Structures are given as structure tokens and as C-alpha cells.
Amino acid sequence: MSLKQKDPEIYNLIQKERRRQTETLDLIASENYVSKEVLEALGSILTNKYAEGYPRKRYYAGNEVIDKIEELAIERVQEAFGLPLDWHVNVQPYSGSPANLEVYNALLEKGDTIMAMNLDHGGHLTHGSPVNFSGKTYNFVHYGVSNKTGRVDYMEVLKMADRVNPKLILCGYTAYPREVDFKKFREIADKVKAIAMADISHIGGLVAAGVHPSPIPFFDVVTTTTHKTLRGPRGAIIMCKNKYATAIDKSVFPGMQGGPHENAIAAIAVTMKEVKTSVFRKYAEQIVKNSKALAHSLQGFGFKLTSDGTDNHLLLVDLTNKNIGGKDAQEVLDKAGIATNRSMVPFDARKPWDPSGIRLGTAAVTSRGMREKEMSKIASWITAVITDPNVADKVRNEIKRFTKNFPAPGL
């Protein structure tokens, strides 16, 4: 029997979510649409198999095929990111947060000092937020962006590193719209003899496609989720120099995880094969073009953007001059069929639950085939709804008709 017959309640809810994804505009910077092939691997019989351990070193029998799948995923990650021969890959982390914690657990002692971006300025919960396990376990010291430029001030980062002498410097952001100078971070890390770690979860697809600089020539450890701009399943990978491989592998298993999700690992392998295509490279290039076009159009409508623009897939909109908070903006835009997320802006005077900004991303709409012209149209809808929330229903109907021209992958 099919799911529709056996469990119509769940089936119908899935269909409702399919319609929502089909008929709305997804501008959430951390979301995307996976291909049918990725979905096929993710929903395969591989979910039946337990495979604790690593290829050729499992604690369960019957892993001959599983070993080949995981080894293929590793090989494809190495190819997709152009890893040097002295780098190692672990594809078992369940998601980005576990991956980061597994690196800390492998390379640090409790209480060690880590430098990372302040959450309010675009960092991540696992980069030392006091409410997160990371912030409760390690001594995080946070740098931020310049109040004048909205960009990382590398000289200030260096001064902080000299002052606090961190064991690890973490470079990675969830709401930073500018290109990262990984070489400068390496120089800072070398000066204080710190491990250099990059979390490229948001820009992983841009890095692999060559449209954003890569940290790999300069860093010791790199983590990334496999969704977001990589357009794969929910999962993560850790890439590191061979000198850290044993410690990190032990930290992932048995340190913090049990059996890996081999269906997700197969889907990661499919994703990495897609990443190596010319189609993916063009898609990544278009993400950045669309982001810049959306930024330009919104600025034309009087919106203020942190750092005054974008170099990557996202932009951070400061709504202070629009007399609306991020929470209300998110809700009214959602009503209009535009999915965004509220976000703190640097030096925000408001609280995290109702901050001053919203974060927008172009990865998902680019996957639907939208280009610069469509970004201008999206900006006009955002402006209309923010200016007069009463037009939300009208805009939603327009978007419903509009999205029929741009089918989403996998749907």
C-alpha cells in the first residue's frame, strides 16, 4: 500500500507542504530545493542499514555495499572542493551543529579559548552562544563587524587575537553578506599560533563552484553543511589536514555519534556529483548575480542594507527606517507568500525575538530558474507589502500565478 492509503493524514500534510513550497517564494538564505535524484537516494532502502564505524572498519556485518557508497561520497567531496592530497574527509556528521561540536571536541580541552563572530553580527549558535553547548563548554571571545562599514575589520581581529591568545580561530557566518579574506585569517592565526577553522555552511556551494574564495589553501579544518547553497540533503562534512584526521574521526564516532545515516551519505554523494557539473557552476554564478540585483532593487526602494550590499547569496536588510520590526516584517511577508527570516543586524537595539532586520537569500529562487529581472519584481513585492500590509493577500495571489512559470527542482 502507498503512504496515501496507509497514512492519509501524513500524506495530506506532505502535499500541503509541497503546495506551499511550489506556490511561494523562498528567500530563506539557508534553504534550497534538492533534485529528484537526491530525494531518491535520501528516501532509499539505505535507511535500513546500521553502519557504526568507518569503511572497512564496521561494528556490524553486511556493509560491503555501504562501504563503497561512503567511500564514493568521500571521493566526490575531495573532487568537488579540490582538496589537496594531505586532506581528510568525514561525511558522517548528522548536520552542521554536530560537525562543529565534533571539531571542538577533537582539538580542544574544555575551557580553551576560541575566537568567533558574535551571533548578533552574523555568527552561529554553535560559535559560542551562551545558550548553546559550545558557549557553555569553551571560552569564546567574539569579534564583530565595523560600525562604520558593516564588514569584518581584520586589524581589530588581529588585536583581539593578540590580547586573548586563542587556541582556535573560527571564521564562519550565517548572516554576513560579504566575501571573506581567508588568507588574512590564516595570517592572524599564524601570529598567535592558533588552529584556523572555517565554517562555510552558507557559502559551501559558492566555494565549490569557484565563485567565492576557498579557505582550504589556508585553513586547518573546514566544516560545511550539505544543504543551503550546496543544494543537497540535510547533513554535514568535515574536511581537515591529515594531522587532525584521527582525532576528528574519533570525535565523530564513537565520541559524539552512533550509526551514520547512510541514506543521507548516498544523497551527499549524488549532490557532489552534481556540484562538479557546468550546470551547477552556472547556478552558483547566478545566485550571486541575483543577490546583487535584489540588493540593488531594494536599495532603489529605500531599504538599508548592512555593509551596503552583498558579495554572496544573502543580504541583511535593516528595517529601522521602515518603521517595522523584523518579526512583523517576516509575518506579513509570509502572509504574502514570501518566506524570509527575522534577523539581528549589527549593533541592533532590539531583542533577538523581534530584531530590526530580515535576512534574504537567493539560492532557492535561483534553483527555480529566476534571474535578475525576477529579482526586481520580488523587490517590488517586498516593498509593497512592507509599505502597506493590507496588500498581502493580493500579492500572494500574484506570486501564486508567477511561480507557475518557475517549477522547483524535486517538486
Which residues are known catalytic residues? Answer: 50, 52, 199, 225, 228, 234
Per the document, the length of the chain is 411
* 3-state SS, residue 185: helix
Closest by CA to 366, choosing from 216, 143, 222, 211, is 211
Look at the block and give the residue holding cell 587532525: 244
Closest by CA to 121, choosing from 320, 359, 290, 384, is 359
Residue by residue, DSSP assigns 95-164 as SHHHHHHHHHHHH--TT-EEEEE-GGGT--GGGT-TTSHHHHHSEEEEE-B-TTTSSB-HHHHHHHHHHH
Can you name the residues that pair with 350 across neighbouring β-strands? none
Residue by residue, DSSP assigns 35-90 as -HHHHHHHTSGGGG----EETTEESSS--HHHHHHHHHHHHHHHHHTT--TTEEEE
Q: Which three cell numbers stand for residue 80?
A: 568537488
Amino acid at 97: S
Residue by residue, DSSP assigns 255-309 as II-SS--HHHHHHHHHHHHHHTSHHHHHHHHHHHHHHHHHHHHHHHTT-EEGGGS
